[in-house]
Structure formats: C-alpha cells, structure tokens
Amino acid sequence: MTNSEMSNLNIENNKSAQRWEAHIDQQLAMAEYRRRGDTIFFIHTEVPRELEGQGVASKLVKAALDDARAQHLAVVPFCPFVAGYIRRHPDYKALVHLDERDLVEGEPSHAHSAVPPGG
C-alpha cells in the first residue's frame, strides 16, 4: 500500500456491530469489542491478508484507544494484538483496567477468556 492509499484509510466506530472498522479499497479491517458500562473489552482484531504488515491494525487500534481515553473508559485488551500495541505504546497502559494490567505487563499471557462475562 502506498502512502497515498494509506491516506485514504477511513476509520470509524460501528457501534451497532461493536467493532472499529478501517475501510480502504473495498477492504475491511476490524477491531471487535464488547462494551459493559464504563469498560471496553477488545476481543479480536482482523486485517485482510493483502493489508497485513502495513500498519492498518495499528492505526485502527490507536483510533479505538484514543476514543476510549476520550470517553474515560477502562480497557481490557483480551485481543493479543491490542495488548501488544499497548505494551509497545506505554502511554496507553493507564487505560487498562487495574485487574487486567497483567495483559500488558511483561510477556503475553493466554490465561484470560476471549469474551467478557455475559458476552
């Protein structure tokens, strides 16, 4: 993907589908979440194979985390990509729910369920 194509990346929150979406050239990347009160649980991030390795998922997750910060939401990054993004960008660690900080500290853990209770 060229820089001009990346500038055509359109990111939006599809609240009815509970996912952040990045649209580019008829392709759809997404970061799925579930919302419970003042907490947002990120459960899955998916990027089409043709767009992998081009920063699409990072831009998508950054937009989602910036929105969570603006809404004063606690973040629970069950999705390994989201947890890894937060580990690489420690300024987002303060968003992570205190009970779930182990998801972004040190090495990745696979001890958590992928879906929040009641989800």
**pLDDT tens digit sequence for 23-60:** 988 899 999 999 999 999 999 999 999 999 999 999 99
CA within 13 Å, CB half, 68 = 31
CATH number of 3-103: 3.40.140.10, 3.40.50.300, 3.40.50.800, 3.40.630.30?
A: 3.40.630.30
Would you list the domain boundaries of the chain? 3-103
If 0-12 CB within 10 Å is exposed, 13-18 middle and 19+ buried, where does residue 96 land? buried
Which stretch of 21-35, 66-80, 102-116 has the lowest confidence by average pLDDT?
102-116
In DSSP terms, 36 is beta-bridged to 39
Spell out a b/e string for 18-38, using b for 16 or more CB atoms within 10 Å of the CB, else e.
bbbbbebeeeebbbbbbeeee
Q: What is the mean pLDDT of residues 9-17?
A: 95
Cα 86 from chain centroid (whole Å)? 9
> Mean of the per-residue pLDDT values for the chain?
87
Percentage of residues of the chain with pLDDT beyond 90: 71
What is the pTM assigned to this prediction? 0.83
State the pLDDT confidence band at 6, using cuts at 50, 70 and 90. low
pLDDT computed for residue 25 by the predictor: 83
User: Does residue 113 surpass a pLDDT of 50?
Assistant: no
Higher-pLDDT residue of 16 and 109 is 16
